Structure 1
Amino acid sequence: MDVSFLGGPLPQRGVGIVAPFDFALDRELWRWVPDDVSLHLTRTPFVPVEVSLDLARLVSEHETLREAVRALCAVAPEVVAYACTSGSFVGGTAGERAMVAAMAQAGEVPSLTTSGALLDALREIDARRIALVTPYTKSVTDSLEDYLDEAGIGITGRCYLGLTREIWRVPYRDVVDMAREAAVDAPDALFISCTNLPTYDVIPQLEAELRMPVLSANQVTMWAALRGIGKEAVGPYQALLDPVARRGPAAMTPSQPLSHEGDGLTEPDDQTPGPEPEAALAGAGTEPSDPLEGTSELGYGQQAHPDDWSGGAQPPL
């Protein structure tokens, strides 16, 4: 059949992504991307170092970033994002700004990092006190707190796993358990760190349960990158992306009662029906309707403590 009349594929906008060599969640990034945008991914060179402050420094060296951006520019992306939280907060706010400058200079293209995108997202939702969830060791988690403190963001509670490898294998159930543990002292929002930690499907569930906006590393990265080219990230009922979600359950504090109107949930002084928490999980692509089903056998994080637990079962080789 002659298909020449179709005129070829639809034009695509390009977003370049620089990821660490061990990044395993390419598919998760794509889930936030509209159909007329393509992601162009490249990775930093392999180094035989486990997840640590040393690794964060190695994968964020300016020459490493310049080389990656130059490679991406062969396909002319409109914006480039460095998709690594620890690599972009390890040098503090000044270090993050220097990374952005090095990337922008190398490719003559607007550039951003995950940690810089996080601060933009917190400003977007007006969050100044947050709960923190990470898969990192204590030293890496402490470094993230230092970065946020320098930016004027307070931490109300935290929970971390103490992992040094294969973070992408952490199941959704452990992410949810950590979030429940960390969300203390009425934070404005909760942040789930690390671009290698799966989060896409748990965000709407946690917002409905915890009654607060929930941000994740991959979410803020894609939100900021797409906003940089005038596009909107897509995602089921997430407060950062959806003004309706921001006015719904995610805007409430746990002490505020829910008011039922018909089949929806509304704030007590808002009679406009909104989606049930179950409906918030609908349309999440081809994943299971219950994001907690099918969790792995690893089960790390079940007993995570927000203050002083730095341990965590390591995944098998």
Structure 2
Amino acid sequence: MDVSFLGGPQPQRGVGIVAPFDFALDRELWRWVPDDVSLHLTRTPFVPVEVSLDQARLVSEHETLREGVQALGAVSPEVMAYACTSGSFVGGMTGEKAMTAAMEEAGEIPSLTTSGALLGALREIGARRVALVTPYTKSVTDSLEEFLGEAGVSVTGRSYLGLTREIWRVPYRDVVDMAREAVSDAPDALFISCTNLPTYDVIPQLEAELRMPVLSANQVTMWDALRRIGKEAVGPYQALLDPVARRGPAAMTSSLPAAAPEPAGPEPVEAPRPVEAEAALAAAGAESGEPLDGYEQGYPSGLTDEWGGGGQPPV
């Protein structure tokens, strides 16, 4: 069969990812990526050290990063990301900036780290007080808090597991339990640290339950990398990815299809409407009484506008 008429594969934009040797969540990163973007991953060399401050320093040495960036240069990515939270906060803000500079020098393309992306994400949503969830030991968690403090972000509460290996095996239920424990002091947002900790599917549940933005290490990394090349990360019900979603369900009407006109006739029959659609229609000042098809694809019905400031998250 002659398939020449197909014209070949669709053009792809490239994102280079340098990850620690024990990174196991390649598939999770892909879930934030649109179809016309490809991820090109490489890993740092193996070191026989458990997850700790020592490991964070070893996997983030400038020479190690340069080698990873140069290896990826062969496939010409447009942006380079170092996908490791602890490795990019262990040296404080000065260390993070030096890492980014070393990557950019080696690859001659825009570069970022997970911790740098986190600070950008916190600015994006206007969060200055955060709760932390980490799989780390106390000392590594303390280092993350110190990094945030340097950036002017206060930590209101935290919960950590104390793990030193196989973090990718942590189940979602443990992440949710830690999140509930960490947010007791009404933070502006919750951050779930470590790119090796699974988070994708818990973000919408936690945002609906906790009524606040929820950020994760892999999420902020992909969000920042993609925006550097003019693309948007994809993901359902995530406040970081959709500014409208930060204001609760009523504001979702801007992304919904227009309501159909009432049927002609003296006694039109009004179809039953979901409670969420009623609220959305009322907020938008809509005059039609028809239900909005597909509203269930919007923000979770449990997330209401309780952040104050006219629906904006507190600053």
Match of 1:263 in 2: 275
**Residue of structure 1 in register with 2:304 after alignment:** none
Q: CA deviation at 1:279?
A: 6.6
Alignment of 1:2 with 2:14, yes or no, is no
CA distance in 1, matches of 2:278, 2:238: 16
The CA distance in 2 between the partners of 1:250 and 1:67, in whole Å, is 49
Q: Higher Cα Rg: structure 1 or 2?
A: 2
The answer for unaligned runs of 5 or more in structure 2 is 252-272, 285-291, 302-315
Q: Does 1:101 align with 2:101?
A: yes
1:17 corresponding residue in structure 2: 17
The runs of at least 4 aligned residues of structure 1 exceeding 6 Å deviation read 265-270, 276-279
Which aligned pairs between 1:212-231 and structure 2 lie closer than 5 A?
Answer: 212-231=212-231
| Aligned match of 1:35 | 35
Post-superposition Cα deviations, 1:201-235, rounded to whole Å, max 9, x if no partner, equal 00011000000000000000000000000000000
Aligned residue runs from structure 1 range 1-317, under 5 A? 1-248=1-248, 262-264=274-276, 271-272=283-284, 280=300
TM-score normalised by structure 2 residue count: 0.82
- 1:167-196: per-residue Cα shift (whole Å, max 9, x none)? 000000000000000012110000000000
In structure 2, distance between residues paired with 1:5 and 1:175: 49
Inter-CA distance 186–200: structure 2 relative to 1 (3 Å threshold)? same
What is the distance in 2 between the residues matched to 1:77 and 1:232? 16
SS at structure 2 position matched to 1:136? coil
SS in 1 for 2:33: coil
Instruction: Find the residue that maps to 2:95 and give its secondary structure.
Output: helix
Structure 1 residue 21, shift from structure 2 partner: 0.2
Any idea what SS the aligned residue of 2:205 has? helix
The alignment's C-alpha RMSD in Å is: 2.3
Q: Deviations over 1:39-67 (max 9, x none)?
A: 00000000000000000000000000000
Q: Give, as a single letter, the amino acid of the residue that structure 2 aligns with 1:138.
A: K
How big is each residue's C-alpha offset from its partner over 1:270-298, in whole Å with a ceiling of 9 and x where there is no partner?
725896699749xxxxxxxxxxxxxxxxx
Structure 1 counterpart SS, 2:21: coil
Aligned-pair CA distance for 1:246: 1.1
Secondary structure of 2:133's partner? strand
TM-score (norm 1): 0.82
For residues 245-283 of structure 1, what are the alpha-carbon distances to aligned partners after superposition, in whole Å with 9 as ceiling and x for unaligned? 1111699xxxxxxxxx833179899725896699749xx
Whether the 8 Å CA contact 2:249–2:280 is kept in 1: the answer is: no
Answer whether contact 1:85 1:115 (CA < 8 A) is retained: yes
Helix, strand or coil at the partner of 1:50: coil
Q: Is the 8 A contact 1:226 1:233 kept in 2?
A: yes
Distance 1:169 1:242, change over 3 A: same
Aligned residues: 272
Alpha carbons 1:205, 1:277 under 8 Å: kept: no
Instruction: Answer whether contact 2:15 2:79 (CA < 8 A) is retained.
Output: yes
Among the aligned pairs, what percent are the same residue? 83
1:243 is displaced (CA, Å) by 2.1
Distance 1:66 1:266, change over 3 A: farther
SS at match of 1:264: helix
